[in-house]
Amino acid sequence: MDSIIFDLDGTIWDPIDTVIDAWNESISQSPHTDKQLTREDFERSMGLQMDQISKMFFPDVREEERKQLIDACGKNELGTIAEKGGSLYENVPEVLKVLAQSYKLYIVSNCQDGYIEVFYDYHQLGEHFLDYENPGRTGLSKGENIKLIMERNNLHNPVYVGDTEGDRKAARFAQIPFVYAKYGFGQVSEYDDVIERFDDLLTLYGK
């Protein structure tokens, strides 16, 4: 194994409490819906791309208006995360520092453009990762973005660490092993390895 590619939400951190505040603030200013989102709503949406999330959250809003609303929510989300950050899982900085000494580390997440950057900036973790990708930049699926990272960085034997069935499918698409972060938001049908907490990665891959 030469590298580890990580999902972000539900794998490295839990940003939901911050994101709820940002989205509900934007929704409250919209004339198209009076819905207020809950933590359960966001947990169900983890692993989906933004267009899928918008249809799940606002099925009764017309497409053009829904896009405007989602754009407003996404913009506010980035600003709020930049100000407040999210909740890192236990020992994430320490574990990443150790892993980065032996492996090349990357992030592939189904998020909007700018999201990974504000995560890096707020928690000062960007130094551990060599590259990242998301559909907000490429328009590609998670599996395609994993393959893009592999090709761009000449990776021969990576693993993907994630917490949802979508993550499992993406790893299978890229034909690489899938490590299930069981503490995250989702449940999966199968996996190659499993971690009960983030620092279990040191047990699996510590040298």
Chain segment 142-174, per-residue pLDDT in tens? 999 999 999 999 999 999 999 999 999 999 999
* Res. 48: pLDDT tops 90: no
Mean per-residue pLDDT, 28-54? 86
Query: What is the pLDDT averaged over residues 44-52?
Result: 81
Return the pLDDT at 207: 62
Cα distance between the two ends of the chain: 12
168's CB contacts (< 8 A; 6+ apart) are: 162, 178, 180, 188, 189, 190, 191
Q: CATH says 3-14+87-205 is which class?
A: alpha beta
Q: In what order do the strands lie in the sheet with 3-6?
A: 131-133, 104-108, 3-6, 158-162, 178-181, 193-195
Average pLDDT of every residue of the chain: 94
The pLDDT of residue 206: 78
Mean pLDDT of 71-86: 94
